[in-house]
A and B are shown apart, each in its own frame.
Chain A
Amino acid sequence: MDDTRTKLKECFQIVFPDLNEKDIPKATQENVAAWDSVAAITLVSVIEEQFGIEMDLDDIADLDSFDKVCTYLGQRRQPA
């Protein structure tokens, strides 16, 4: 999970370069002004690239905070 958090932090840093590193774990669509629908798609593309996964566009509407994305990725990484 730590590895996922670290990698996800890097994704957030790439997409939201103005976001302070220590604020990333608390980031939500509400408290990050730059996190609009366009940035959400960019974030998904970066996560797909960094984690080597494909994400369903239907899922991303619910992924509106760092924690939720992290949990989602943790579930995706668990063996079936």
Chain B
Amino acid sequence: MKITEALRIVQGTAADAPPFRVTLACGFTPLHLHTFVQAHLQLTLPGRAVRITEGLYGDLCGTLERVAECDGLIVVIEWPDIDPRLDYRNAGAWGRDTVTSILEHASLVLERMKKAIARVPSSVPVALCLPSLPLAPVFSAPGWQSQSTELLLRSTLLHFAAELAHDSRVRVVSAERLAQESPWETRFDLKSDIKAGLPYTVKHADALGGLLAKTLAPPAPKKGVISDLDDTMWRGIVGEVGPENVHWDLHSDTQIHGLYQKLLGSLSDHGTLVGVASKNDPAVVAKAFERPDIILRQEQVFPIEASWNAKSGAVKRILEIWNIAADSVIFVDDSPMELAEVAAQHPGIECILFPKEDPVAALQMLRHLRDLCGKDKVSSDDALRLQSIRQGAAFRELAEGGAAPEGFLEKAQATITFDFAAAEEPRTLELVNKTNQFNLNGQRFTPADWHKATSNNRSLVAAVSYEDKFGPLGTIAVVKAEPQGEGVLVDTWVMSCRAFSRRIEHQTLKMLFETAAVDEIEFAFAPTAKNGPTREFFASLLGETPQETFRLTRSQFEERCPPLYHEVRELKKAEAHG
């Protein structure tokens, strides 16, 4: 991004948009960094007006200790913040005694910063960047050698960052990625530092600003990867050479396919759905997945759609089974034609070419996949996701064939748990912010906004989890209600699409009427491009499709509510909710 473009983005912010207040804590003049962080964040948060507050020059610790209520904190440490003698603008000596003293001082300063960051309100996400500029030549060893004191100084910093990163609010900018995006030799402007206290070049300010914005407000990860098999998952056409003669190893110079399998396996273990769309004979594909040396295990993939029909059809079936929209999914294939066919039928899907002949490009692709699907924290619900999709498919298959759905639901041995003390659990806000189809109004929250909206003791917030004889689905819904006069207003309600068809939404309504002890509930409904299932659910109770905020009476609900067979458990119900 150019500085001109960044300034235009910043100036183009809608003045009446709700503010997103960020504290930028650093010890130098952040001028261009301020502009670029603001512009990059503004692009990430188009509905908000990003506002940035700076601290005092040369007082990073003090700025951290004074952090007021905000939506995000960015901490950019440079060497002079660790010790003023590392500042090119400082007149202090670089003598023999100085070096040990710098090390001691660094420990004290970092401890002070750690304490200050720990005191920042728990709802404020923090993005941290360790020093990104060259260290002044204070150590006695020649520049090509790292002396033990210098290594100790760097290890103290890394230890400090690692400890902070344990805190789920704190995310640390990757030094490796910064090195890729901002080459070492174009980062530092000594003249500008000495004259104006502005050490960053415009290029470095842009690169770091972009990474800080992503670190503070990361984009939503993709939910699934659909992959081709031949010449993608492995080298060779399995239908021609047979399952035993496709390869993904060093010996046959096809290691890049093995690395791809490793990455998919890792994504699957961390909650990203992995499916297969392949033009192949299903029996042959099944045999290939039975090979003992396959890296991506069969249980890490679901579903495997192998047929001779168009790939877009296979992708359609997978999206239906996963019950997610195309724009949450990546499709990987080695054929540009197949990618184009799928892209044409599924607008929004991210299509990625597998560069089978170019290992360097293939490694870049693997990194890109990790970027698109990456999560900094993995919850127990992430680990359950693939298992529950598989169970959901079995559930639907059994419900649709043979036994009547009613009898099927009755025998499902389902338990619904309403947890009334889970408002601050990361999974609760994650569900609210990523659920599209069953979503009352599409409203998203920053951690600070959510904390503010739920921390008053009049709010009723329930995280809903579900389990039946097929296994647990984990936490799959969140509902939030506020007292309003004599009644109740439900202003947030989301449910994962994995949980459809189990009447969990009906049981949730029943709980709301009973817990709030009211005969009528108001719903802050707003139609979105994707919340059709929510509209249909309410239409089934109201007898008409809602278009905006509406009221539902207890008698309307009871008249049209189908039989419910769940066992209901309530956890940690707050006294304020009766």
Cβ–Cβ contact A49 & B31, under 8 A: no
B191 to chain A, nearest CB (A): 6
Q: Give the residues in chain A near B198, CB-CB below 8 Å.
A: 41
Contact of B195 among A15, A45, A49, A57 (CB under 8 A): A57
B8 at the interface (CB under 8 A from A): yes
How many chain B residues touch A (Cβ–Cβ < 8 Å)? 16
Asked whether A49 lies within 8 Å of B3 as measured between CB atoms, the reply is: yes
Q: Which of A26-55 contact B (CB under 8 A)?
A: 37-38, 41-42, 45-46, 49-50
> Is B4 in contact with A14, judged by CB distance below 8 angstroms?
yes
Number of A-B residue pairs, CB cutoff 8 Å, is 33
Task: Decide if B7 touches A14 in the complex (CB within 8 Å).
Answer: yes
Residue of B nearest to A38 (CB): B31
Cβ B196 vs Cβ A57 within 8 A: yes
Counting contact residues on chain A (CB < 8 A from B), the size range is 10 to 19
C-beta contact mask, B436-467 vs A, less than 8 Å → 1, else 0? 00000000000000000000000000000000
Contact indicator A45/B11 (Cβ below 8 Å): no
Given known A-B contacts A57-B192, A57-B195, A15 and B7 have beta carbons under 8 A apart: yes
Task: Please determine whether A45 and B29 come into contact, CB atoms closer than 8 angstroms.
Answer: no
**Which of B2, B7, B192 counts the most A-chain CB atoms under 10 A from its CB?**
B7
Report how far A45 CA is from B202 CA in the complex, Å. 8
A55 CB to closest chain B CB (Å) equals: 11
Tell me the chain B residues, 183-213 only, with Cβ under 8 Å from chain A.
Answer: 191-192, 195-196, 198, 202
What string of 1s and 0s marks CB contacts (under 8 Å) between B273-305 and chain A? 000000000000000000000000000000000
**What 1/0 mask marks residues of chain B from 29 to 43 whose CB sits below 8 Å from any chain A CB?**
101100100000000
Contacts of A57 in B (CB 8 A): 191-192, 195-196
20 of the cross-chain contacts (CB-CB < 8 Å) are A14-B4, A14-B7, A37-B196, A38-B29, A38-B31, A41-B31, A41-B192, A41-B196, A41-B198, A42-B3, A42-B7, A42-B31, A42-B35, A45-B32, A45-B202, A46-B3, A49-B4, A50-B4, A57-B191, A57-B196
- A interface, CB within 8 angstroms of B: 14-15, 17, 37-38, 41-42, 45-46, 49-50, 57
